[in-house]
């Protein structure tokens, strides 16, 4: 049976801008952001993630644990306690995305196309002098960061030790993994690159879900 990775893309104006439903740890993390735009993006991700988890597992009290494996602070890969569901969250500009997979750990990333240049990725793309799969700087960046997120280690894993191959495989020190570029839906926003990674050797089916339905919003 083919594994599924579901993706929900949303813009900030689709999501609540309040603290209801956020845990104390999440509220504390939000309060530490210096810029209101960063706080807004983080809380939007919190709301969308909780809506996705409820949609997938049907448990309104499901706990989302963000404990970092390297420092034990609450900024690690989100884990749905007591349920066989792997999730990942990313946000950039006015876009938030959630990836969910029941069969394997998953990582997702999104970046504005104009936010990442060749200089920004030069220090992370060198790997034994070889060139990885072609793409825009933002695409190269999102692939690498999606691997780091799927690993659960984030930037504790040196991105210079990761290479996303043209055949969709990943060369790194971790388990078998595959990646794919994904498009931000045109009716959500434009000018973004995104990628998703899953920790298994077989290809999966990537399925787009409508985030509006999670909040009772009709498609315009």
Express each pLDDT in 57-82 by its tens digit. Answer: 999 889 999 888 888 887 888 999 99
Q: What are the E-state strand segments in 106-218?
A: 106-112, 163-164, 170-171, 178-182, 192-198, 205-210
Mean residue pLDDT across the chain: 88
Q: Residue 219 pLDDT more than 60?
A: no
How far is the C-alpha of 215 from the C-alpha of 106, rounded, in Å? 24
pLDDT score recorded for residue 122: 64
Are the C-beta atoms of residues 89 and 175 closer than 8 Å to each other?
no
More confident residue, 159 or 127: 159
178: exposed, middle or buried (C-beta count within 10 Å: 0-12, 13-18, 19+)? buried
pLDDT score recorded for residue 76: 83
More confident residue, 26 or 173: 173
Q: Residue 189 pLDDT more than 90?
A: yes
pLDDT score recorded for residue 145: 94
Q: In the CATH scheme, what is the code of domain 4-214?
A: 3.90.470.20
Predicted confidence band of residue 101 (pLDDT cuts 50, 70, 90): very high
| H-state helical runs in 58-206 | 118-122, 137-151
């Amino acid at each position: 049976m083919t594994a599924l990775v579901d993706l929900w893309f949303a813009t900030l104006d689709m999501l609540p801008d309040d603290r209801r439903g956020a845990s104390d740890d999440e509220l504390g993390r939000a309060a530490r952001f210096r810029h209101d735009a960063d706080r807004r993006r983080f809380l939007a991700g919190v709301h969308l993630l909780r809506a996705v988890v409820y949609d997938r597992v049907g448990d309104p009290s499901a706990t989302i644990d963000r404990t970092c494996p390297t420092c034990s602070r609450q900024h690690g890969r989100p884990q749905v306690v007591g349920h066989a569901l792997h999730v990942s969250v990313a946000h950039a500009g006015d876009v938030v995305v959630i990836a969910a997979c029941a069969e394997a750990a998953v990582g997702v990333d999104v970046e504005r196309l104009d936010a990442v240049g060749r200089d920004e990725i030069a220090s992370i793309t060198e790997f034994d002098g070889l060139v990885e799969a072609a793409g825009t700087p933002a695409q190269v960046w999102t692939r690498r960061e999606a691997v780091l997120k799927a690993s659960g280690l984030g930037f504790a894993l040196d991105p210079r030790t990761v290479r996303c191959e043209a055949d969709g495989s990943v060369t790194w020190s971790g388990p078998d993994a595959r990646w794919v570029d994904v498009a931000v839906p045109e009716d959500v926003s434009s000018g973004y690159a995104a990628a998703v990674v899953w920790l298994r050797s077989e290809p999966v089916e990537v399925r787009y879900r409508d985030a509006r339905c999670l909040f009772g919003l009709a498609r315009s």
